[in-house]
Structure 1
Amino acid sequence: MFRHKAYKFRLYPTVEQEILIGKTIGSSRFIYNHMLNAWNSSYKKTGKGLSYGKCSAMLPAMKKSGDTSWLKEVDSVALQSSIKNLADSFNRFFKKQNQFPNFKSKKNPVQCYTTKNTNNNLSIIGNQVKLPKLGLVKFSKSREVNGRILSATVRKNASGKFFVSLLCEEEITELPKTNKHVGIDLGITDFAVLSEGQKIDNNKFTSKMAQKLKREQRKLSRRALLAKKKGINLFEAKNYQKQKQKVARLHEKVMNQRNDFLNKLSTEIIKSHDIICIEDLNAKNMLRNHKLAKRISDVSWSSFVTKLQYKADWYGREIIKIDKWFPSSQLCSNCGHKDGKKPLNIREWTCSVCHFHHDRDINASINILTEGLRIKQLA
């Protein structure tokens, strides 16, 4: 079955290519903001907004105009993609899927633009990737790209590093059946506990970097105050910008460690099991608990479940989500007796009916698996 799959690589552009990337990002942001303003003005005057077609038709005239003739220097498809993103934002807003579109800011830590493959203007040649207007750009080819390249998103992170994400259409075959099922209980002390008895350690990536981050962020604050005292704009304060990049690199390192851990774990679980049963947790509401918010955000349950879901769709596996109110920790997995709610500090308990001794988390994961298989039979 043909699926869309993204590959992300680090780019190593020349100085000239960096300048052109910056111009393309800035032009795409300008077009987005200009069209959003035109859309809002049209709605105030006529009670109707603009369509993608009307906005797109305004672009050629803007390129011919003396004030905005610089738009001709950059990739035209990237500008069209910016308008398409705006139109998609409005469509999602009207469907109540997101909030009203906001103006883009150059202060955003991640700046990017998207271009599409037309007449094979996107391709990989050796250790270089061919991009419109930029030509051949060196990149770190960590793996082979399969399938047809549909689009490319060029991104500049707050750390100053450049990346390209290639969206490809390729045939992904389903994995052979294993006839194994697993229940997963997500937690904070242990990241995940499997019904097979395996406990996955919570690596606490943010906590390990917390001391270093705190020290570097204090330096950043001091340099910001010093620049303000001297009356220097923060964008022009070189020491502040250097420190800002240093802090961004630390955050990026934590993010990369977490993503690597989640990708490897989710792939291993998908390869080893046909059916995966997991709790349908509402992490957004759980983050309102200020005592646990930092630790919950560090474990990234939502990201893990998302990775499990799309990999299951690719490889022919099944994800069954259990209701968040299901009392997985209160039921005895041996006899089914509901033993009552227990405080979090109780990690082991014995059933009052069958006297079976339980590890709290392993028992919960077994109950999640049992409930998941019951739901599958009813479906």
Structure 2
Amino acid sequence: MFKYKTYRYRIYPNKKQQQSINQTIGCARFVFNHFLHQWTETYQETGKGLSYSTCSSLLTRLKKETETLWLKEVDSIALQSSLEHLADGFERFFKKQTKYPRFKSKKNLVQSYTTKQTNGNIAISGNQLKLPKIGWIRFAKSREVAGRIVRAAIRKNPSGKCFVSLLCEVDIHPFHKTGSAVGIDLGITDFAILSTGKKRDNQRFTAQMDKKLKREQRKLSRKYEQAKKDGKELWEAKNYQKQKQKTAKLHEKVANQREDFLNKLSTEIIKNHDIICIEDLNVQGMKRNHKLAKSISDVSWSAFVQKLTYKADWYGKKVIKVSRWFPSSQICSACGHLDGKKPLNIRAWVCPECGILHDRDINASITILQEGLRSLQLV
């Protein structure tokens, strides 16, 4: 079964290649912003926007104009991809899936562009990767690339590191069937509580690094104030830029730790269970609770559910999302008695109907499993 899979590697461009990457990112951003402005103006004047094909024709003319001849110096497919992203943004906006497209800024933390595979312009040989207009570039080949390369996204992080994400069409073989089903209750103290009784601890990656992050952030703020006192622009304040990169590396380390944890846990669950039942949480709504917002952001529930979903699709397993309004913590998993809402500080309770003592979280995961299997039978 052919599926799309992404392989991410760190790349090590030389100075000339780094300049070429920066130039391509800048041109892609310019094209996106230029046509976003035109699209908005056209809509205000005529009541109709542009289309991808119209913008593509206008881009060809733009490259011939004297003031924008420099657009010819970079990968043309990257510029076309920028137009595709803009058209996709408007399509999702009109479907009310996202907000109105916004202008891209060079101050954004992550800068990137996308290019496509055509006539072998993206290739791999040993630890060298070939990219359009950049040539062969050294990369950390941590694992072999499987399947046919479809496109590549080049990304520059705030830490200064560069990465490439290769989207490939891969023949993925499903995992063997285990005949097992599991319910998962997501929490803050324990990240995942399984209906089997297992609990996976919340690693609290941000909290572990919190003291160091605050210290480095304060240093960054002081260097920012000093640069302003000296009348320097931030880009020419070397001490500020060094500290900014140091702080960015810490944030990147936290993000990598969390990503690794989520990937390992999601793969483990998919391997061991055929059916995974999980709550459809309203994470954005829950973040409105300012006392819990930081903790909720740190655990990354949405990213975990997303990983479970696409891995289940890859490997022939099934994820069932239970309604967020289902009272999983209020129902006795033994007799089905609805006992009413309980404050968060109550971690165990006795069912008044059957007298069984419940661990709040394990009971919730079991009722989630029961509800998920029940909804599956109704389909």
Q: Given the two structures, how large is their TM-score scaled by the length of structure 1?
A: 0.98
Establish whether residue 64 from structure 1 lines up as the match of residue 64 from structure 2.
yes
Aligned equivalents of 1:275 and 1:40: distance in 2?
46
In structure 1, what is the equivalent of residue 157 of structure 2? 157
How far is the alpha carbon of 1:363 from its aligned partner?
1.2
Aligned equivalents of 1:30 and 1:202: distance in 2?
42
How far is the alpha carbon of 1:47 from its aligned partner?
3.1
Aligned equivalents of 2:88 and 2:338: distance in 1?
48
Establish whether residue 372 from structure 1 lines up as the match of residue 372 from structure 2.
yes
Which structure 1 residue ranges, 5 or more long, are not aligned?
none
How far is the alpha carbon of 1:356 from its aligned partner?
1.5
Give deviations 1:184-241, integer Å, cap 9, x for gaps: 0111110011010101000000000111010001111111111111111112211111
How far is the alpha carbon of 1:353 from its aligned partner?
2.4
Give deviations 1:151-198, integer Å, cap 9, x for gaps: 000010111000000011111121111000101011111001101010
Establish whether residue 224 from structure 1 lines up as the match of residue 224 from structure 2.
yes
Establish whether residue 245 from structure 1 lines up as the match of residue 245 from structure 2.
yes
**One-letter amino acid matched to 2:171:** E
Aligned equivalents of 1:88 and 1:338: distance in 2?
45
Which structure 2 residue ranges, 5 or more long, are not aligned?
none
Aligned equivalents of 1:41 and 1:357: distance in 2?
65
In structure 2, what is the equivalent of residue 148 of structure 1? 148
Establish whether residue 6 from structure 1 lines up as the match of residue 23 from structure 2.
no
How far is the alpha carbon of 1:33 from its aligned partner?
1.1
Query: Pairwise mapping of residues 196-211 of structure 1 onto structure 2 (< 5 A)?
Result: 196-211=196-211
How far is the alpha carbon of 1:42 from its aligned partner?
2.4
Establish whether residue 290 from structure 1 lines up as the match of residue 282 from structure 2.
no
Aligned equivalents of 1:294 and 1:186: distance in 2?
16
- Tell me which moved more, 354-363 or 35-44: 35-44
In structure 2, what is the equivalent of residue 350 of structure 1? 350
In structure 2, what is the equivalent of residue 119 of structure 1? 119
Q: Secondary structure at the match of 1:265?
A: helix
How far is the alpha carbon of 1:61 from its aligned partner?
2.6
Query: Pairwise mapping of residues 181-200 of structure 1 onto structure 2 (< 5 A)?
Result: 181-200=181-200
Give deviations 1:281-320, integer Å, cap 9, x for gaps: 1011000001111111111111100110111111111111
Aligned equivalents of 2:378 and 2:81: distance in 1?
45
**One-letter amino acid matched to 1:122:** I
Q: How many residues align?
A: 379
The change in CA–CA distance for 1:45 and 1:343 in structure 2 (over 3 A counts) is closer
Give deviations 1:231-265, integer Å, cap 9, x for gaps: 11112211111111111111111111001000000
How far is the alpha carbon of 1:370 from its aligned partner?
1.1
Provide the aligned C-alpha RMSD in A.
Answer: 1.1
**One-letter amino acid matched to 2:63:** K
In structure 2, what is the equivalent of residue 84 of structure 1? 84
How far is the alpha carbon of 1:15 from its aligned partner?
0.8
Aligned equivalents of 1:103 and 1:156: distance in 2?
18
How far is the alpha carbon of 1:345 from its aligned partner?
1.6
